[in-house]
Amino acid sequence: MRRALLVDDNAEFLATARRLLERQGIAVVGVASTGAEALRRAVQHNPDVILVDVDLGEESGFDVAESLGTTSARRWPVILVSVYPEQDLEDLLEASSAIGFVSKSQLSAQAIIDLLDDGDRDLPPPN
């Protein structure tokens, strides 16, 4: 079973996404509403993937994704999520260290698994 950490400043979305993903077979090991909290939870729970909202109120989800993807403790795969359409964020997504993007309206366990599987294929083979 894949394990996820959800990062969003909207408590209602966190609760809804948690129920949806857990019903579809992804264990949500934690939630966070800020970048600092996300890093603490990631170190604590070591998830397989972290879903980060693009718009975290005072913070940029892109900046949070970058810090989670490049922290010295571990490089977690990050998937960005948003209510904004992907084409509106295309340039920012391309420059991001995130492995992909899922619209909040299209969020599903399968969308996450597909992005994780695609990301695994992009990794160099082990030595």
What CATH number has the domain bearing residue 70? 3.40.50.2300
Q: Is residue 91 part of a domain?
A: yes
Number of H helices and E strands in the chain, helices first, is: 5, 7
Domain span at residue 85?
Answer: 3-122
CA distance 64 to 54: 9
Q: pLDDT tens digits, the chain, 127 residues: what are they?
A: 899 999 999 999 999 999 999 999 999 999 999 999 999 999 999 999 999 999 998 999 999 998 887 765 678 899 999 998 888 899 899 989 899 999 999 999 999 999 999 865 444 333 3
Q: Is residue 84 part of a domain?
A: yes
Q: What angle do CA 20, 22, 92 make, to 5 degrees?
A: 65
CA distance 22 to 24: 5
pLDDT at site 27? 97
Q: Is residue 127 part of a domain?
A: no
pLDDT at site 119? 63
Identify the three-state secondary structure at position 58.
coil
Torsion sign across C-alpha atoms 40, 59, 117, 84? positive
Contact (CB, 8 A) for 10 and 18: no
pLDDT at site 74? 73
Q: Which of these, 79, 86, 87, lies nearest to 110 by C-alpha position?
A: 79
Q: Is residue 8 part of a domain?
A: yes
Q: Is residue 105 part of a domain?
A: yes
Lookup result for tokens 């964020």: 89
Number of domains composing the chain:
1
